[in-house]
Amino acid sequence: DVKVTQSSRYLVKRTGEKVFLECVQDMDHENMFWYRQDPGLGLRLIYFSYDVKMKEKGDIPEGYSVSREKKERFSLILESASTNQTSMYLCASSFRGEVWAGKFYEQYFGPGTRLTVT
């Protein structure tokens, strides 16, 4: 079974703190993703990495950075947490598709981290 694990299920941090959310996958996937999910707004992509040390901004990258030093690990960093970053954060991974041929691989999601910034 594919496993995507996230470091914490619940996290409470204070405004201004630096926050690290860790995601690890065990399937040798090239692609890794960070999303946030908010009521009424659905899931939105924050950052995407298609290889080690490679990253691409998603739809809402402001206030976030990422790190991918090893293939299996993708970290989301909140440099200075703010209350509007209170959310459910979901990590996902997949094999790299052959998009030129229309071949897309399914994304596997972790259980999520519910972050509260007070």
Partner 1 sequence: DAKTTQPNSMESNEEEPVHLPCNHSTISGTDYIHWYRQLPSQGPEYVIHGLTSNVNNRMASLAIAEDRKSSTLILHRATLRDAAVYYCILLTQGGSEKLVFGKGMKLTVNP
Contact yes or no for 50/105 (Cβ under 8 A): no
Of these, 43, 51, 65, 79, which contacts partner 1 (CB under 8 A)?
Answer: 43
Q: Which of residues 75-104 bind partner 1 (CB under 8 A)?
A: 90, 92, 94, 96-97, 99-102, 104
Beta strands in the chain (DSSP E): 4-6, 10-13, 19-25, 31-38, 42-51, 54-57, 65-70, 73-78, 87-94, 108-109, 113-117
Please select the residue that binds partner 1; options are 1, 10, 42, 62, rule is CB under 8 A.
42
Structure token digits, residue 17: 């703190």
CA distance 22 to 8: 8
Q: Which stretch binds partner 1 (CB under 8 A): 14-22, 42-50, 69-77, 78-86?
A: 42-50
The number of residues that bind partner 1 (CB under 8 A) is 31
Site residues (CB under 8 A) for partner 1?
4, 31, 33, 35, 40, 42-45, 48, 50, 58-59, 90, 92, 94, 96-97, 99-102, 104-112
